[in-house]
Each structure stands twice: as structure tokens, then as C-alpha cells.
Structure 1
Amino acid sequence: MKAIKIVLAIVIVSVAAIGIYYAPIIERLYFAMNMDDEASMAENLRISDTYYKTHLIQRSSKPEAFPRNVQQGVIPETFVNHGETLSTAEFLKEAKPTGLLIIKDGQVIHEQYWQGLVESDRQFAFSVAKSMTSVLVGMAIGDGLIDDVNDPVVKYLPHFKGTAWDKATIANVLEMSSGVDFDEDYSRTDTDMQRFQVNFVLDKPMEPFLLALKSAHPPGTKQGYNSMETQLAGFLLRAVLGDRTLADYMHEKLWEPLGAQDDATWTTDVTGMEVAIGGLSMSLRDLAKVGQLFLQRGQWHGEQLIPESWVLESTTPSKPYQMPGRDNPLSEKPFGYGYLWWTPVEPNGREYYASGLYGQYLFVNEDKGLVIAMYNANNKFNEAPDWWKERYQDLFQAIAIGL
């Protein structure tokens, strides 16, 4: 009887230990599966970083707020999308915004929050992190950590030789023209992105996933949206930063000199590698500072934080497969693309933007001195991402035209 009790005790302890080990994974799986629940999505986006491993990006030691010059009539009553005049109020009702911050000539002219978000709150920004990764690549080039954007990626990641990434340059990766095969369709559950997400939630490291991908076509021939391109750029950055993380570098090069008012977080995998494809949580007002920095061609209080050449190059489509247009056979999207920055289908002057899943945006119109930062909790976004993106884009352009 004593032996049976000992065995039962061992079994109970073992089951409890297994439960303790798997409980966080089960909790993350449940959270991920219910992320876009309409009733709780806005809150989910605010607390998302509490369910994952993260690196902290501390706010600046000298936080700085934008001066305010709040104006009326900044948001137009209507805007045009595909020739149809839409009610802005009705669109916003569908789009489910959580925050909208508009900066004109360095001053806040409109600030509004919904669904429980307040100005100091972080919100998960998804693929806006791609554009932020591009910013860090440009800074690394400016710091001499990367020699040239046209270098092959294997120069910095030699263990990727012989893989699908072998012939790609850094520019190819930032343009999403590496030719690596990856199915990103968010409307289905049988895609490469779905496999990647499941692996991540189950605490599997990201790098083996990238090493196993295959090539679909030669690099530098056409553009195809592939989040793994940005993740490779993240690995490249980590390789050249030495013992610093991407979060360390972002704090040093952006958050500190920009006077960031709030802490940000960058989600990591089990190895501590940042999720460059979309792991940043930050406040809307600090995100807007990055837009203002780009508007000022990389200058902040007289200091050149980003090379001006990088600001221009990274936000300007230059190759045939990067050009905007609904009839571009070399691109699967109607929008233009630079180095992880989008441009509108029909730009009004120099315009570019960062875009994230469920409606996260940082939009810049240089001619109007305009920066628009917007967060949404749009649970319908995945049903037609490009359709939604055009509507947000058209609203931003209408705001710019009206100012």
C-alpha cells in the first residue's frame, strides 16, 4: 500500500508539473484564438504583450510632448473611395478606431481616443513593426554596422548559405522581393503564416522556420508580401548589433533622443529574438514621433538621427515591382512599396505609411507637414485586408487635402 501511495504521489506531482509547464502555452493559445473577438478586441490589443515574452524599450529620460494647437473641422465629413463618396462617421463606426492623433507642422491639431484607450496606453501595432525595423536597418547603415543595402544577406548571416535566402540582398528582403516562397493569406487557416503563428505560440524558435523555407523565383524580379522577409532583416540586425538587442538599439537610437513619453515593448520568441514582423506595442503619441522624425528627413532638434538618404530611399518605390498601380503584373498589391514602407495607390505628393493588421497606421504627407497615427480594433479587417487598407488610406489622403 505504501508503494502505491508513493507511485500515486509521483504521478500527481508529474501531472501538476506538466500542467504548470503547459499552462502558459494553453493560455496563449486561447488568447491568440480569441484576439479578434469583437467585444474584447480593443482590450486584447492593449494587453497582448502581457501574454508573451518581451523586451522592454524604456521611455526617454527626457520625455517630450508635442505642442498643441487643436483645431476644429480637421476630419472631413466625407471622403471618396473607388469613386464612391463615403460618410466618415459611418466608416469610423465600421472601422472601430481606438485612437487618432494628427500632427500638423509639429503641433497636435486633433487627438481622440475610443474603446478605453488613453494617451499613455500601449497598443499592439502588428506590421507597423516592419517599418520600424526598416528604420533600424537605416540607422545601422548610418552607424557603419552594415556596409551597404545591396550586400547579400549571407554576408552577415553565413549560416543561411544554401537556403532559399542565399542569393537575396538586404534590399531584396526590405522590398519583399527575395523570391522566398511563403503563403501569407490571413483569410485561411492552412497557410505558412498560420504554421508560423502556431509554432510561435508553442514556444518554438523562429529561425529554423526561416531556414526551412523554399525559393519560388529568383530574387529581385517581382514583389510578393512575405512577413518572413522582415524577420530575416531582424536576424541580420541582431547579428550586427553584437550583445545588443533590437529593443536596446531602438531605445538608444529612437526612444531616448525622441523624448518618448511611454515605455514600449517588443515581443520575442523563446530565444529572446524580437518578432520583427509585428511584435511592437507602443503608445500612439510615441509612434507619431517617428512619423515626425521622417517628415523632418531624419533630423530631431538639429541632430541627424537617421541618414536623410535612408528616409528618402526607404519610402520611395524605385523598381518596377515596387510601383503602385492596379495593373502592375510584378506586384500582388495595388500599393507602392519601398523598404518596408507603403505608398498610396495614387499618391498626392510625397506620401508614405506604415500599416499593421486590424488597422494600425502611421501616415506621412510631407507636402502638408502632416503626420497621422491611428490605432483600430477592426475585427473584420482580415476578411478583406487590401479593401480596408484602401479605405483608411483614402481617409488619410482626404484629411491631407483638406488642410
Structure 2
Amino acid sequence: MTHLRRVTAVAMLALGVVPVTGVFPVAAAAKPATPDVVRPSANPVKLQSAPRPLSVTYTYEGQRRTLNDFLTRTKTNGFLVLDGQKIVSERYVDAGRDTRFQSWSMAKSITSAAVGIALRDGHIRSIDDPVTRYLPELRKSGYNGVSIRNLLRMSSGIEWDERNDVPRVQVAANKGRPVKKIAARQVQGWEPGSAFEYTSMNSFVLARLVSQATGTPYHRYLERKIWQPAGMADTAQIANDGNGDSLGYCCVYATERDFARFGLLYLRMGKANGRQVVPASWIKASTKSSSVNPRYGLHWWLGGEGERDFLAAGFGGQFIYVSPEHNVVVVKSTTSTTPPDQEEALTAFRAVAAEVAKTRR
């Protein structure tokens, strides 16, 4: 039986990797709209089960630590390691292979892929176009004249507090209020392109941009352009606001193996089953440092320190980590509501990737 990972009201307080305090009233947390269904591929990318023991230790903040301790301490429910297309490690706690885990802000990296495909197909002329070229409804908002590029690199200039504004938007979406109207009320607080400010509303606007530019509902575009051609094996679900708009900044429910396939897609420079799904040029651009934050690309976090690795990251410790150097993908899912230490996670994942390469037969 397929499981859907349940999420508490407390867990819904944030959708990125930014710590959040407080709780919204239970009365305000209305029942969310029914998620949209994204159907799988008829030709899934085959992942071969080839388990082998991985003895992983790493040093963080002067302490020697183990992978097992890290996974336990961070309340990990799903953990999967790919050596190319071989599953060398897969473990679950109170979950299983059929569990659909909540992506939280890992969804932002999926939204980025959708933008890149729409750009390739000519639906978007240039990411240096103002977003209002495609969403004229935002011309009276702080998004007026802001480039798509600045939304992608989290430099829109919108006056935004991720701690407090995301919960409010989520509550509104759960109540069936159109998030596009909230986007149209945003104001500009600083010069776009001059700084980095993690802003989930940017990702909602990008998902709506894809929908409007292509004339296709976001979830259906994702199905046709990513989920099926990338060879996903299971149905996914995507949350919406009840008014036809996918949230874009969060809430893709998928299996651990399909999240791994998405990481594999980026490891393979956008190719799956011999087909170019995401343009290789977009993969390169997305995983390259921006001028406003050396550790962030176009909706992807970067490892930095001279390394080429990168990761999608979500609230509570959800990660898709990609190591081109070692040909490894790591996926980690959790129901924890504790803000994750992304630097420790990166250190642990690098140790995993190195161990996979070391033990490769």
C-alpha cells in the first residue's frame, strides 16, 4: 500500500532551510486542497539494487562522527545512496519504498528545471526578461520589472521575511486563497540583483510563470516534461492553493527512489534513457555560483570550497545531494521539524560519496 508521509502543523512552519519560530493557530490551518497527481513514466530509469557496506565517518566542528549517528540524530526516515544507477544503500524507519516523502523546498530545484525546459522550448525568451512580461498581473507589485534571473538566484528585492511570511502564505493556501493575489501585493524593499534573500514567493512566481508561459498547468507540465521523460517510476503529488496554482516552493510528495532519479538526472547533465530532458547548459548555469551568493546558483545550493557538488535542500533536513566527482547521488528524508545543519549534512554526504568511490568494484 502506498503511504503518504503525514506532516504536522508545526512542520509546515517553514519550507526552506531557514529556522522558524512560533506556531500558527490550529484553527487557521484549514484542510489543504487535494494535491495534483503527476503520473510516472512508462519506461522508468532502472535502478539496480547492489547493496554493500559503507563505513562512513567524518570530522565536523572538531569531532569525529559517524553516518549512523548523523542519521539517527536527525530523525532520518529515508536514506538512499546511488553509485551511478546502482543502489548501494537504502534504509527506512517507519517508512518504505512506497512512501511518498514531502520535499519541502527541494521542490524549488524542480521548479528551476521546469524554467530551464520552458526556456529551451522557446516559451520563455530569456531569463533576463522581466517576469512581468509573462505575468502582467504583477506590474503593480514589487515584482514589476524584476528579471527571471533575479528570482532564480533569490535576489528579487522583495521585502520578505522567510521566518514569518512563509507560514502566512501556507495558511492562506490551505484556506483556498489564491497565492497569486498575495504575490501581487508584495512590495520592493531593496534593489533587485544587489543581495541574496531566500524568498519562497519567488519560487511560487516562477512556477506560475511556467504555467502561464506554456499554457499548461504546472503539475501537468512537470509530468510531461520532467517526471515522465526523466523515467520516474511512481506517481507523485504536488500541493496547490485550490485555485489552479501549484505552490512551486514546496510540497512535492514522491518516493525516495524518484527523488534519487531527479538527482541522477542532474548527475547525467540532464539526460535520462538516452534523452536530453533538461538542457545541459541549464544544468551548468543552475549549479554555478551567482554574484549575490557564492553558495547558491539558480535554485540549487552549492557545496563551494572549490568542489563541484550541489544539493537541493528542504525544511527539517530533506536533501538531494549530487557529487559529479564521485558519480554519486544521496537522498535523505525526514519528518523532523528541527532546523537542519546544512554544513554538517554536506560534510556527511561528501564522506559518503568518497566512501562509495573508494569501495567501488
Range into which the TM-score falls when normalised by the shorter chain: 0.7 to 0.9
Shift of 1:114: 1.2
Larger radius of gyration: 1
Q: Aligned in 2, Cα 1:284/1:174: closer, same or farther, shift over 3 Å? A: same
1:306-343 deviation per Cα after TM superposition (whole angstroms, max 9, x unaligned): 11100000111131x221xxxxxxxxxxxx10110001
**Length-normalised TM-score, structure 1:** 0.79
- Corresponding residue SS for 2:162: coil
Alignment of 1:6-25 (within 5 A): none
Amino acid at match of 2:261: K
Find out whether 1:275 has 2:247 as its counterpart: yes
**Structure 1 segments of 4 or more deviating over 4 A?**
none
CA contact (8 A) 1:182 1:193 kept: no
Rounded to whole Å, the distance in 1 between the matches of 2:282 and 2:7 is: 38
**1:362 paired residue number:** 320
**1:62 paired residue number:** 43
Shift of 1:31: 6.9
Amino acid at match of 1:214: V
Alignment of 1:148-297 (within 5 A): 148-185=126-163, 191-242=164-215, 244-297=216-269
Rounded to whole Å, the distance in 1 between the matches of 2:120 and 2:225 is: 11
Rounded to whole Å, the distance in 2 between the matches of 1:118 and 1:161 is: 46
- Corresponding residue SS for 1:268: coil
CA contact (8 A) 1:96 1:377 kept: yes
**1:10 paired residue number:** none
Tell me which of 380, 394, 400 is aligned to 2:338.
Answer: 380
CA contact (8 A) 2:45 2:272 kept: no
**2:298 paired residue number:** 339
- Which stretches in structure 1 are left out of the alignment for 5+ residues? 1-29, 37-49, 186-190, 324-335
Q: Aligned in 2, Cα 1:307/1:210: closer, same or farther, shift over 3 Å? A: same
**1:27 paired residue number:** none
**Length-normalised TM-score, structure 2:** 0.88
- Which stretches in structure 2 are left out of the alignment for 5+ residues? 1-5, 13-30
Amino acid at match of 1:56: V
CA contact (8 A) 2:32 2:241 kept: no
Greater fraction of residues in helix: 1
Rounded to whole Å, the distance in 2 between the matches of 1:104 and 1:294 is: 14
Amino acid at match of 2:103: A
CA contact (8 A) 2:44 2:233 kept: yes
Find out whether 1:96 has 2:75 as its counterpart: yes
Shift of 1:65: 2.9
**1:33 paired residue number:** 9
CA contact (8 A) 1:95 1:377 kept: no
Shift of 1:285: 0.4
State percent identity of aligned pairs.
28
Aligned residues: 334
Shift of 1:302: 2.3
1:15-67 deviation per Cα after TM superposition (whole angstroms, max 9, x unaligned): xxxxxxxxxxxxxxx9753548xxxxxxxxxxxxx953211001212334312
CA contact (8 A) 1:62 1:259 kept: yes
Q: 1 or 2 for the larger relative contact order (CA 8 Å, sep ≥6)?
A: 2
- Corresponding residue SS for 1:374: strand
Amino acid at match of 1:363: Y
Q: Aligned in 2, Cα 1:82/1:138: closer, same or farther, shift over 3 Å? A: same
Cα RMSD, aligned residues only: 1.9
